[in-house]
Structure 1
């Protein structure tokens, strides 16, 4: 729908954005293959966005997808800096606040997607990446 609106208003998707969207689709395929159920894609709260929200058993999993060139100096996993972590915390808190009933377990995962000139290569899933404190359900 968003791409349709962009076409309607004359905005073209950049090559980088197109590769990022392909990376998100590859990440989603991997998560589904691992048995996770997708709840939301590209969920926004204000200017913040989380790429994928899914369910793994009873755990709600927030997933950030990082699509990087195979020759990038910094891996996708390592590219999540302090500023991005704060934005991710804000969007996750916003989603959590709207949930009824509230889940017992929350988790943050990163999926790193490598590409070479737009062709998708390796897809790596890092589960339970430290973003939330141990007392997440009390502090979120």
Structure 2
């Protein structure tokens, strides 16, 4: 497997553990719809949370969360719309980003950004 995919999977595993330890129930992992993949779908306090995990080994080009651009947000929102429809969810929805930044010694900083963005009108 490519090194960047290994890093991404490691980041998703760390993010999943963080969420579970914070009382979230993980509903789905790597859920796909069309061209979109939602890394984690969680549930807490009657809210479905769609989580994008961004893992990087450096921030020379920006923080990991900076890579969730408008295009990626629209893909996530479209996938979320389908998931909500399939699950017949009537409650609130939230979009979070979990940013993980590794250093050269394999230590990492993790940042959970709740309500990271609002769905854009399409």
Instruction: Name the TM-score, length of structure 2 as normaliser.
Output: 0.91
CA contact (8 A) 1:36 1:55 kept: yes
Query: 2-side partners of 1:118 and 1:98: how far apart?
Result: 43
Structure 1 residue runs of 4 or more that deviate by more than 4 Å after TM superposition? none
| Alignment size in residue pairs | 122
Deviation string for 1:46-90 (max 9, x for gaps)? 221100001011000000000012333211111111111111111
Tell me, in whole angstroms, the C-alpha distance in 1 between the residues paired with 2:79 and 2:118: 12
Q: How large is the Cα RMSD of the aligned pairs?
A: 1.9
5+ residue gaps, structure 2, are none
- The superposition leaves residues 34-57 of structure 1 with CA deviations (integer Å, 9 ceiling, x where unpaired) of 110100000001221100001011
Residue 131 (structure 1) aligns with? 118
The equivalent of 1:70 in structure 2 is 58
Q: Unaligned stretches of 5+ in structure 1? A: 1-12, 134-138
Q: CA deviation at 1:117?
A: 4.5
Q: Name 1:33's counterpart in structure 2.
A: 21
Greater Rg by CA: 1
* Local SS of the residue matching 1:119: coil
Kindly provide the CA deviation profile for residues 83-135 of structure 1, in whole angstroms up to 9, marking residues without a partner as x. Answer: 111111111111111013x23110010000111358250111001122326xx
